[in-house]
């Protein structure tokens, strides 16, 4: 029995480390179930496919928050660590298409505030071509800024809660880019 106890403890420790690295497949794209943003733990709230014309797959997007919720307004308005992870799944998604869609999204966002300079900076920060498999992270640090990453490299930041609210409103607001993706991100 003395040999069994250390073995059991070792197995418990190993399984606790394994759970930190777990992933969930969303439309055949692996997403970690947890993500650290600004030294804070966040959890995968939900995710789904962004389509156009009901047949053209563009990207898979997922929402990371401190605690699971299906309340879009709570997510948009919250001043706490959270993020959106986007993985491009189509060669049809170009830098131009993506930044134009973001520009339209900011115009349609029902929360927060963005400026023409913010849109210009997005275009500048994402100046290289997109390819299938590219990853974009939009991580909000509470009380600070949204940090934009592409393929693991920080590209720039956008200061202030109002900008974060407008940005997250693109996917979660009253006039989202894709109703189905909004529901999926909220786990509905």
> 53-82: per-residue pLDDT in tens?
777 889 999 999 999 999 999 999 999 999
As a whole number of angstroms, the distance between CA 51 and CA 68 comes to: 24
SS3 at position 104:
helix
| pLDDT computed for residue 20 by the predictor | 47
Q: What is the dihedral of CA 172, 177, 183, 185, to 10 degrees?
A: -60
| pLDDT computed for residue 56 by the predictor | 82
Q: What is the mean pLDDT of the chain?
A: 88
| 152 DSSP β-pair partners | none
| pLDDT computed for residue 13 by the predictor | 41
The pTM score is 0.86
Nearest to 48 by CA among 63, 70, 37: 63
Residue appearing with tokens 């797959």: 57
> 24-34: per-residue pLDDT in tens?
999 999 999 99
* pLDDT digit string (tens) for the chain, length 188 residues: 444 444 434 444 444 333 446 999 999 999 999 999 999 999 999 999 998 877 788 999 999 999 999 999 999 999 999 999 999 999 999 999 998 898 999 999 988 999 889 889 988 999 999 999 999 999 999 999 999 999 999 999 999 999 999 999 999 999 999 999 999 999 98
Q: What kind of fold does domain 23-185 have according to CATH? A: Chalcone isomerase (3.50.70)
Nearest to 110 by CA among 164, 160, 173, 161: 173
CB atoms within 10 A of CB 5: 9
Q: Where are the alpha helices (DSSP H) in the chain?
A: 4-20, 72-77, 95-108, 116-125, 161-172, 179-185
| pLDDT computed for residue 21 by the predictor | 61
């Amino acid at each position: 029995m003395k040999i069994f106890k250390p073995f059991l403890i070792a197995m418990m420790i190993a399984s606790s480390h394994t759970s930190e690295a777990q992933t969930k497949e969303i439309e055949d794209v692996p997403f970690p179930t947890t993500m650290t943003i600004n030294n804070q733990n966040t959890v995968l709230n939900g995710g789904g496919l962004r389509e156009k014309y009901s047949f053209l797959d563009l990207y898979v997007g997922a929402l990371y928050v401190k605690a699971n919720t299906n309340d879009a307004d709570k997510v948009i308005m919250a001043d706490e660590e959270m993020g959106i992870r986007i993985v491009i799944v189509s060669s049809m998604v170009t830098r131009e298409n993506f930044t134009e869609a973001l520009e339209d999204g900011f115009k349609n966002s029902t929360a927060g505030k963005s400026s023409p300079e913010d849109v210009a900076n997005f275009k500048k920060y994402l100046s290289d071509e997109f390819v299938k498999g590219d990853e974009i992270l939009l991580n909000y640090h509470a009380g600070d800024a949204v940090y934009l990453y592409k393929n693991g490299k920080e590209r720039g930041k956008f200061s202030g809660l109002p900008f974060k609210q407008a940005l997250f409103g693109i996917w979660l607001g009253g006039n989202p880019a894709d109703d189905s993706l909004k529901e999926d991100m909220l786990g509905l």
